[in-house]
Structure 1
């Protein structure tokens, strides 16, 4: 999807488990222009889903978020990221297990790196989670778009048990805790 050129648009790249989940959450935020599911952080070019699932490529399922920084800040995206996945489990989100489901932030500039590190430190200092945060903070790496069937998955497949059991609670949490940030007309 080609969006208009806007100097206030920035990019954030997060891996927080299954990209179906993270895509669905971030699509609903006011100020988010586009969310693309894909693969990042690995060691081969143009990986396919079947290769990612083996865990041998080193890629994580991630999302590339284009956002309007005049409407939502990077810090607010970090807040939603940490509130809607478990950053304390290494290479795991619920029943999804493997390095492809790791928690990682891929910063696109030094300011994002500092903000992510500071935010993690704040969460640790405030003992927000019962266990230590294992989210890695890494420099942006090539991002490969996932296959078409993975894009907009939740919105197209809400009747699927995975969506109802795993993603619906994340959307409910988003609506409960971040209602002022959610786009009107999205549920």
Structure 2
């Protein structure tokens, strides 16, 4: 069961998200908060697996909340859900430690997939914001060897939020093989993690 904490200063948004996620058989909403201070207190008490948070709220800014969560509740993975995709929002959030960044107009199935991916350490980025990370959060990717067809397939699954286990099952290969493919992808793209690999792949046109 994925324990989820929802943070948003709009009650109607919180109610909608709670109803949506509570209806999922593998998810439990353990709390709601309208701001950063309340979110920190709830996270410390409830120990959620995933914190789904907006960025622009009264009081503590979203990026500051993400930084504090990383220190005070390091096991909680933070997924941003917001209406803002500007550099001033995206970059500080990811630099602070957000594992994913989605916009509020995302389809609900994409939100479910993102929460499940975040709970298992996966990274999900909205295509609209992925390119903003290039050369800002991570070092620019140097020219490297092209990805193989299988590596592109693995990367496409990762971009959709698949975990290593899910990618392995989809491709009928072992998790170890998936990890090997990811290591090769990181080397070829000149990056060091899943989020950067997805962002770089979008920028280079390697993903639709």
The structure with the largest strand share of the pair is 1
TM-score strictly above 0.5: no
Q: Give the TM-score of the pair, scaled to structure 1.
A: 0.27
The structure with the largest helix share of the pair is 2
Q: Structure with the greater relative contact order (CA < 8 A, sep ≥ 6): 1 or 2?
A: 1
Q: Give the TM-score of the pair, scaled to structure 2.
A: 0.25
The higher radius of gyration belongs to 2
